[in-house]
Amino acid sequence: MAVRWTEKQQKVIESRNRNLLVSAAAGSGKTAVLVERIIRMISEGEHPLDIDQLLVMTFTNAAAAEMRERIGAAVEQKLKERPEDEHLWLQAALIPQAMITTIDSFCLNIIRNHFNSLDIDPAFRIGDEGELALLKSDVLGEMLEACYEEGREEFAGFVEHFGRGKSDRGIEDVILQAWQFSQSHPWPGEWLLNCRAELEEGNLEEMEQSPWMQFLFQDTARQMEELSAQLRSALSVCGEENGPQAYEPMLLSDVGKLEAIEQAASQGNFEVLYQSLKNMNFDRLASIRSKDIDGEKKAFVTACRDRVKKAVGKCRDLYGAQSPAEVVESIRGTKTVIAELLNLTGMFDEAYRAAKRERNVLDFNDLEHLALEVLLEKAPEEAQEQENKERRPSPAADELSRQFEEILVDEYQDSNYVQEALITSISRERFGHPNVFMVGDVKQSIYRFRLARPELFMEKYGSYSAEDGPYQMIELQQNFRSRESVLTSVNDIFYQIMTKNLGGITYTKDTALYPGASFQEVGGENVDETLKRKEGISLSAGTPTELLMVDTGAEALKQLDEDALDYTARELEARMIAKRIRELVSEEKGLLVWDKTKETYRRARLGDMVILLRSMTGWSEVFVNVLMNEGIPASAQTRTGYFNTVEVETVLSLLSVIDNPMQDIPLAAVMRSSIVGMDDEEMAWMMAAYKKNSKKGQDRGVYGAWTLWMDEEWEHPGTVPETAAASIRKKLAYLRELLGELRSEARHLPIHELLYRVYRKSGYYDYVSAMPAGETRRGNLDMLVEKAAAYEATSYKGLFHFVRYIEKLKKYDTDFGEASVAGEQDRTVRIMSIHKSKGLEFPVVFLAGMGKRFNKQDAYGRILLDADLGVAADHLDLDLRVKAPTLKKQALKRRMELETMGEELRVLYVAMTRAKEKLIMTASDKSLENKCSKWKDSMAVGGQIPYTVLATAGSYLDWVLMACPAVPKSHLEVTCVQVRELIGEEVGRQVMRRMTKEDLLAVDSARIYDKEAREKLEQAVNYRYPHMDDTGLYAMISVSELKKQSQIGRAPEAIGTSGTDTEGAVLEALAEPERETSGSSGRGALRGTAYHAALEHISFIHIQSLEETEQALEALVEKGYLDQESRELINGRDIWAFLKSPLGKRMAKAQEEGRIHKEQQFIIGIPAREMDRGDSDELVLIQGIIDAYLDEPDGLVLIDYKTDRVPGNDREQGAAMLAERYRVQLDYYERALTQLTGKRVKERMIYSLALQRSIKV
């Protein structure tokens, strides 16, 4: 049956001889339209084209393969209709060689055809990712070493500015960051030169003309314009009946002041703008006591004004913190380090290209840049009159222009400047015949991290005409994927939250989604036969979109520390999803979905479900585990996690030990693995005996312990039980024998052959095969062999470099995901990232983790780079040892944050438009009620949510909650699940398991007819463990618990032996280990955790005032180290009092010199008898976290923060009370620190934030 195209689709298919931009909304059938356009171009008309006269460019190999397959199938169908058509037979033969390709493959083709003009060896190859990472590291290391030897003053200043301690990691990172960014420019060298030229801006007037300052002016004016509009909305409410009219004078005054700032910004004069921001203040609102005033209207106006005040304050902090003179001075102060950064970046680029040429390899950046070198050339010298010399298309470009009648670009919204230059160079536009077809959707541009430039799409979107002409734009708005209920909710939300200032495009009726798919009404013959035969069941399809939220701020979670709370919240959200999945697949009341193949409705299956996540890391593992535990099969295919699988980590550790056995961590990992089989107790005995035997300063770690135990003349201490000693020697002897053989073979075997020997001789391959998910684990080890074979094809050789090769793959996130051993099944819920889902569709979509905070880390880098605004860095005052951002860096930071938020909006759009039948959004949040209240009045009266409000969102949930008031309840069902409901379900299952166990224990043994079996069973039940006294010991205990028990005078009891209340016991078992905090529960615990988090992450050396302290705390919220609720629990004056105290200054000096260690976690083993726990030699593991310690020449200084509120007014008595309360705790901390570092603790200090003083203990 012929496809019925819509009018606009038909227009796209038939338009010719023009540049055509197609803005194709999600699910609008753009691929089908593109294929049909190509088919008609090669099969219809008086002179149909040959397929090799078209250049079809896609962004992935998979997309190119799909396009080629679809075109081939369409040609094959045409041949069935017209078997005598010789032209069609020719097209069928040409399709395999047609230029339906990725941009990289097209560039590779150009280079291979013109290698002579590039002066490169035609036998070049594309370098392996790991090989190129190694090569970069080696080249950069050699370059830095030469710079150190040269001893230039500029380089020394650069190292001082960007170095991190004794490692070059910091300076390597910023050089690679700048180099990688430069590669997104068509001519990287020229971009670096332009950035250097910007450094010559010596005065304020020149800076005011620069792109970054122009952005600052535009941004400020735009903000003030919108904030004024918000206040006008509030004024309109004041003028309504029962409105707070008394507020009008103050609001009118506010509007005038904002307009003055807007006017100053529009003038482009920073001095005037600075004074306007500095002088901006808000008058106090008049008091209103009249009972006739509408409370909601008053609250709306007040909330609106508060929001505006906060936004203006942030703008002033961002752009008005420095006077014009300070701005010029600080930017001049960064000139030298930025110039050196650009210099080193250029040096690295040159050295790296030389190293690649020596090895005859190219990377993917080279493909595009070398292709540009072929296609664009500089004009002859005599024609170059302008200072800025433009390149012009080369004869090779002209030849390609003649070859291709049309260039078709898919996913155009993801193009960058390099790709745009390539396309322009081979188009016929310069000859007056535009011939580029571009299709994409700027609302789905989600590859900013790959340096995509969606503004290229928007420039054409804004300039091309909707009418016929040489530059035309056509909108495809109909969605042929989703039900109307899904599209309606998407439209309702994005009408409110997507604006040009944030998302790149304003979501209007012209860009909204319109239903194009036809879904039949449920009933009659279109229902699956199995459902027809059942009575009393629900048959429903096309139900509204849902928002499910779980409140993790319930009392049950308040005792958990921040990390445990985050993890638990993810579990609870996953459990909430599992519950909803079971309801959707229920035979009685489950969701009906349309089965295309059978053309009937059927019940939803697990295979219809997908869970989409913004980030898989830390989320997918939790979701898979929870769903599997709930009896729901789930799989998460990711590109990460491979190197973290236990089998791969173990083998890589063994390879590291084969290369160099004197590495503690890999050697301990091998000993502890199933290959050697030592347990924790044996490791502890081995190390304890070695520590007693080794002399001070001669500790050789795990390797030293191993060699000592292998010394036949050495006798182990009598404290090690003989059976344990024999077991340890036997296992270590096996390791010595195994390593001896493998190290001998490693000298001459290729790495992949060595891996086979490792698998065979250790038996590890067979062992992992017998583990749960053995087939996948075996596949992971096979994949490691494949990677070894790929490594051997590189320019590097040997085991040492292979270990480095793998380390580089880890460092640069070049992971492969776990091996896939089977296809997706009907009975499995899939979990994938939103990016992975792009271009796909699913009957039921769970958009999960919507409460996760946005990642804005890029905006807080030590250098910021922008293609248009240049490079910025902090200003470092070496005399005062103070580092602060320049105004230019603040401008770049603001732009990056806006671009990040815009990208997140588009990612949300992509996620929501994947659903065909049902969309369910889920989130967890610990202050849900406050969040809902915060955003309910965010919408301006009668209009879209202002972008200044949208930009304050911290998560997808914030945006959806902002939009909720404008979304009809019939379009979006919102449900808040209390955490106790989900925990209660788990409690019920635990109780049921316990009841089942009790039933089994109550079986009457006399009813067993086999007498011998009964006697064995009774003997087993009556068995008495000989070391019963030791069972009362903790296997592991926290220092805070020991402190509590020392105060109440009782020994720790065995876990699980106290209490008889079943539900209470289960809840206790569900709880996470508690971090020591001040107070015993509730708000006090959260307050303690908040202060500890702030003191862990805040810098002690960059803060010079209370105002800067408050700014630093706000920065911790923006970076995700603190949430808003925790921030509100912290009084900035407490932190500032600490920073300016003698102890604070002492710690600042230590931080400056790299002698401070914060949040030092530890686990140490102490014999029970040394803890006054009887006569047992059993080791008790003690865990804790030391807040901070200073490493001074004559010993360590142990520091512990306390937020306890001290009763009474006697400060000395309060200090003595705290010292006594925490003495035991600090005793254990001191022991741990001495044991871990081998250094003595010379001072032990408590800093009381309540008393604002330090206390020696």
Annotated binding site: 24-31
* Core vs surface per residue 1110-1142: b (16+ CB within 10 A) or e: bebbbebbbeebbbeebbebbebebbbbbbbee
Distance CA 1059, CA 782 (A): 50
User: How many CB atoms lie under 10 A from the CB of residue 1082?
Assistant: 11
CA count, 13 A, side-chain hemisphere, 483: 23
Q: What are 666's two structure tokens? A: 């890999």
492-496 own/partner pairs: CB under 8 Å, 24+ apart: 492/963, 492/966, 492/967, 492/968, 492/971, 492/972, 493/912, 493/959, 493/960, 493/963, 493/967, 493/972, 494/909, 495/944, 495/963, 495/966, 496/939, 496/944, 496/945, 496/962, 496/963, 496/966, 496/967
Residue with tokens 């009790």: 998
What does the DSSP assignment read for 854-905?
P--GGGGSSEEEETTTEEEEEEEETTTTEEEE-HHHHHHHHHHHHHHHHHHH
Asked if residues 450 and 413 have their Cβ atoms less than 8 Å apart, the reply is no
Asked if residues 224 and 301 have their Cβ atoms less than 8 Å apart, the reply is no
Asked if residues 647 and 751 have their Cβ atoms less than 8 Å apart, the reply is no
Asked if residues 650 and 673 have their Cβ atoms less than 8 Å apart, the reply is yes
Asked if residues 1220 and 1257 have their Cβ atoms less than 8 Å apart, the reply is no
Q: What are 263's two structure tokens? A: 């006017």
Asked if residues 62 and 102 have their Cβ atoms less than 8 Å apart, the reply is no
Closest CA to 1204 of 1039, 1073, 1106, 1091: 1091
Closest CA to 581 of 976, 922, 970, 923: 922
CA count, 13 A, side-chain hemisphere, 1157: 15
What does the DSSP assignment read for 251-276?
HHHHHHHHHHHHHHHHHT-HHHHHHH
Torsion sign across C-alpha atoms 805, 808, 812, 817:
positive
Asked if residues 417 and 190 have their Cβ atoms less than 8 Å apart, the reply is no
Q: What are 483's two structure tokens? A: 């039900």
Q: Which residues lie across from 55 on neighbouring strands?
A: 99, 407
* Core vs surface per residue 460-498: b (16+ CB within 10 A) or e: bbeebeeeeeeebbbbbbbbebbbebbbbbbbbbbbbbb
The CA–CA distances, whole Å, from 354 to 112, 350, 369, 994 equal 19, 6, 15, 69
* Helices 364-375/417-426 angle, 10° precision: 30
Asked if residues 371 and 423 have their Cβ atoms less than 8 Å apart, the reply is no
Distance CA 762, CA 766 (A): 9
What does the DSSP assignment read for 570-604?
HHHHHHHHHHHHHHHT-TTTPPEEEETTTTEEEE-
Annotated binding site for ATP: 24-31
Residues sharing a CB contact under 8 Å with residue 477, sequence separation 6 or more, in sequence order: 8, 25, 28, 510, 511, 512, 513, 514
The CA–CA distances, whole Å, from 429 to 131, 454, 455, 467, 1159 equal 41, 21, 20, 19, 62
Distance CA 82, CA 320 (A): 73
